[in-house]
Structure 1
Amino acid sequence: MVSNELLKKFVEQISESGFPLEHWASSLLRKEGWIVRTNYYYIDSDDKKPREMDIVAYKLKRLDRFNVKTVLLISCKKSKSSVWGFLRRSFPEYGNQINLFPAMIVSKYPPVNYALKWGWQREFCDFMAGHGLSSWFGVPQHDVFAHQQIPLEKGKLHDSDMHSATMQLIKAQAYEISDRHNVENREIKQFNLISLTEGEFVAFDFNDGADVEAIEIPEQVSMTSYKIDNCDQDSRVIYLTKRKFEEDVSRFTQLHELNAEFFINKENEFRNEAVFDWHKLAVHSEEFISNLERYIWDCARHHRVLPDTPLKLSVKISVESHNPIVEISSSRSEILDVARSSDVKKRIYRDIQFFWGHEGHIEINTIKIS
């Protein structure tokens, strides 16, 4: 039997670990409406072994045609014996090689992918900064070029916990974004890397000379670039003290709502006159054609008009003048009769409105082929 004295000792040992911080943060996020997963594992890109991510939290917003998921990857560390130090300097006026506006987004929704053209990451960050999240997404004021854990009493400088937390976040994100990890169709994920620490932060600002100024800070945003599987991974890591995390937890919900707003705006950009733009028409044409051909087959089976011999069926969509044109060709008159039915016409109007936002007239032609 374990004595009460020993049990008390066990509690003290657990209390000195990072687990109470992990539980506290998870509880806070759940109260804010986040779905929280612990004991979550990813595959380390270096040694290909499973590693644990302390907290994975997400919110999902279901929209008419796609979903937006905001993901928080959170590392939890307790720093009782040292202060976390961030060595900072100004970014160079010329020759800066760091991506200052990483967006960390993965999308399988074609209209949004179409709208995310060159420079969209800066546009995304500017949108967030302009809606109250400038401390996270605004133009970075400092280049954090090194991390150091500074002992409160005796000991040497080191960066083991800070490095471990940063690499844990970067590798977990790389695993989530990689093609090996499934992403639902019509879903957009936006990732945020949070290093949460029960301890204090100090910034060491280096000027152009040899002077260094030290100031206490509650948070620090750092841009990182790391090559994983021969691909550059640009990331933004938000370091927060426990006190600052508690103050900012509602801002993560604000971020989620802004994510949805940003991608709705991007979808609207795509759907504006989309059916009259050949490039936009091509975005959904394959899916539209496949769906319509399958629907015509289903209707033919329902009405029992499928012939015993093989037949040809093809669908094309194009635009001439002010109306989209859907051309349905088949080698059998029975199939063309199905294609002229009100059910098929309703499906064509519905799908074109769904894919391209067009609610006007549609010309539907049926053609007999040999």
Structure 2
Amino acid sequence: MDNKYIDGIKTTGFILENEIIQILKKEKWNIINSKYYEDDIADAPREMDILGYKVEKEKEILVYTVLLISCKKSENNIWGLISRPGKTSDPNHNYWPNTIWSNHKPILYQKGQKNFNENYYKFHEDQKTHNLMKLPDLEVFAFQELNKTTGKPQNDKAIFSSIQSLMKAQSYEMGLLAGRKKEKCVYQFNLISIVDSDLINFNIESNSKITQNSIQTEQFLSRYIIKREEQFFRIRFVKSDYFEEIIKEYNRLHLSNIKFYKEQISFFYKDVLYSYDKKQMIYEDFFFEISEYINKASKYKLNEENKIQYPYLAKYKRTLEIGMTEDKNINKLLNENQILLTKTKEALKKHFNYSGNFIFHSDDSLPF
């Protein structure tokens, strides 16, 4: 059979996709290939070349590090990234875009704190095991494909298509998780545009001075309107023959992600019993878990008439007080019921990471 068909396939991006997938598999990443998502503007399905992820169980949550990867091959053109000296003082730019989604309440609380995103990036920068989260030294502000033979500018269509698909895919995936994930988890997304061609940075130092350098990788900070909302993204351009090297940095990123979330969970629980806002986040889950056992232990005497309006947890010295009712007789029943005490102990550990003494409020009851 004529080899022209094989030669034709080799000019497409499928060979590059397969090479990248084999590298990911070698480095123990889980792979989803050619996943489709819905384009919110064109109202049409779009394809994400490769989705790779690693997952690890840390305490009570699953930690996912996700790579969304676009692969492009360009036989005739180089990819040019046009840049200028970078800065971090532009008030209209977000240098630390959100890449994290979670349904875990302690992580959600920490994520809502001031400067969380900035602290996330700086945490990874301080790890010094990879350079993925450092602010770029140069500000990439435009792109251009240039003919390898003549140097003539072509257009930025393929480059823009790559970064647009990555941004939309991340937005789509993060929006999908809320309705799909039931287990407690946290996801961190990374956008990677891989090109099988030369990658050149053109740095405009002044109107009369432009320098060019062949590069292996560079970051691009982007803003884009998705679903009528301005969002910010970090995209990493990678030359295809450098991917085998840079994937090792993403391996280390996954390990430092686990370390970061573990630290954030510890921060949350450190003063959880003394923080009104933190307790408010998890009260409902805690009381829901023990409500059935409270009803049985009280012999169904605890009702709306004798239940206090706002059940509470309050730490006094070395004993945690659980306030459900001021009725001493009911509290006596609660404090004497071993099944309730066991279930409450488990629920306190699960929701508040607390394993000390506790008591259902009553002036003359003894601590458990």
Q: Deviations over 1:323-360 (max 9, x none)?
A: 322234599x9998577421110111121122122222
1:207 match: secondary structure: strand
2:331 touches 2:360 (CA, 8 Å); kept in 1? no
2:335 touches 2:360 (CA, 8 Å); kept in 1? no
* 1:232 paired to 2:230: yes
1:220 touches 1:239 (CA, 8 Å); kept in 2? yes
For structure 2, the 5+ residue unaligned runs are 364-368
The residue number in structure 2 matching 1:255 is 253
CA 215–271 in structure 1, closer or farther in 2 if over 3 Å, else same: same
Offset at 1:279? Answer: 2.0
Q: Which amino acid aligns with 1:62?
A: K
1:66 touches 1:187 (CA, 8 Å); kept in 2? yes
Distance in 1 separating the partners of 2:267 and 2:85:
37
CA 98–181 in structure 1, closer or farther in 2 if over 3 Å, else same: farther
Listed as ranges, the matches of 1:96-175 within 5 Å are 96-116=91-111, 117-132=113-128, 135-154=131-150, 156-175=153-172
1:226 match: secondary structure: strand
CA 311–282 in structure 1, closer or farther in 2 if over 3 Å, else same: closer
2:49 to 30, 46, 54: 54
The residue number in structure 2 matching 1:201 is 199
1:84 to 79, 84, 94: 79
For structure 1, the 5+ residue unaligned runs are none
Q: Which amino acid aligns with 1:58?
A: Y
Distance in 1 separating the partners of 2:88 and 2:342:
59
2:313 to 312, 318, 341: 318
The residue number in structure 2 matching 1:64 is 59
Q: Which amino acid aligns with 1:349?
A: K
Distance in 1 separating the partners of 2:87 and 2:62:
39
The residue number in structure 1 matching 2:284 is 286
1:352 to 348, 351, 359: 348
Q: Deviations over 1:199-252 (max 9, x none)?
A: 110000001332101111011100001011122221100110112111111221
CA 251–93 in structure 1, closer or farther in 2 if over 3 Å, else same: closer
Distance in 1 separating the partners of 2:131 and 2:207:
27
Offset at 1:115? Answer: 1.8
Q: For structure 1, which segment, 78-87 or 227-236, has the greater mean C-alpha deviation from structure 2 after superposition?
A: 227-236
Q: For structure 1, which segment, 183-192 or 149-158, has the greater mean C-alpha deviation from structure 2 after superposition?
A: 149-158
2:180 match: secondary structure: coil
Q: For structure 1, which segment, 207-216 or 358-367, has the greater mean C-alpha deviation from structure 2 after superposition?
A: 358-367
2:331 touches 2:361 (CA, 8 Å); kept in 1? no
CA 314–159 in structure 1, closer or farther in 2 if over 3 Å, else same: farther
The residue number in structure 1 matching 2:70 is 75
CA 93–357 in structure 1, closer or farther in 2 if over 3 Å, else same: closer
RMSD over equivalenced CA pairs, Å: 2.7
Q: Deviations over 1:283-322 (max 9, x none)?
A: 210110111114446x67xxxx779xx9669682321523
Identity in percent: 23
* TM-score, normalising length: structure 1: 0.88
